[in-house]
Structure 1
């Protein structure tokens, strides 16, 4: 029994939705951390590194399946999420790496900058989640 590409694409869409929602719900409580030591920064960085890796895989799988199913708009949307994930990983992870030693050195601007970066990641993740939810009406 072979599943049609549309069914597999729906599976990947649900997986992308689950990954995005899971990491969004997991990242918000991390704002409780004071971000004032390298362990906090390292944990949050590894959290986002894992999220970006899994989100990229599921977004690419979603895009490929929708392309095979002939659903160009949905394939482009999933490709956009994959591209955004790559860009965010390339931008945010090095910034987190740069801020971690500054936090350890007690530089006054490092903790607020790291918290702002964390909040920005959450806001963008929320936008991705809303985009995925919105796409469900097009399936």
Structure 2
């Protein structure tokens, strides 16, 4: 009983983080992404999001695994792993490289914006997958 409660609590917290990120990053698309302040703020938002998702999804994965729900555990482990990979090797390092060139190269701001949109799309897909799994697969 306790593992499933932990898993569900972590899942709710994860959904809150994902929803907060989606609602918080969507209005930032109006920015041109062409100043150091814009890019630093957006990069910080992505970093905080990944730092919140990794332990939360890991706790949910652990809870589901100990509760005997391997499919849910695998899904949450994939979300935690994807957040780790995006923070460590994909999104954050690319944002850092682009931030250094934004004032000098106009194309960097466009690439930074695309990276912002791709990060939001990945989050939306994950959010939809978690919501779908909870409503359709049944615990």
Structure 2 match to 1:100 = 99
Deviation at residue 4 of structure 1 after TM alignment: 1.6
| Structure 2 residue 71 is the aligned partner of structure 1 residue 69 | no
Structure 1 stretches of at least 4 aligned residues deviating more than 4 Å after TM superposition: none
What CA RMSD, in Å, does the superposition of the two structures yield over aligned residues?
1.0
TM-score computed with the length of structure 1 as normaliser: 0.94
2:113 to 107, 112, 115: 115
User: How far has the Cα of 1:109 moved from its partner?
Assistant: 1.0
Q: CA deviation at 1:120?
A: 0.3
Q: Does 1:130 align with 2:133?
A: no
Deviations 1:60-88 (A, max 9, x none): 00000101111111000100101111111
| Gap runs ≥5 in structure 1 | none
> TM-score, length-normalised on structure 2?
0.94
CA distance, structure 2, for counterparts of residue 8 and residue 57 of structure 1:
13
TM superposition shift of 1:134? 1.1
Deviation (angstroms), 1:135: 1.8
Shift of 1:43: 0.5
Partner Cα distance (1:56, 1:102) in 2: 29
* Shift in Å, 1:44: 0.4
Counting matched residue pairs gives 136
Gaps of 5+ in 2: none
SS of residue matched to 1:104: coil
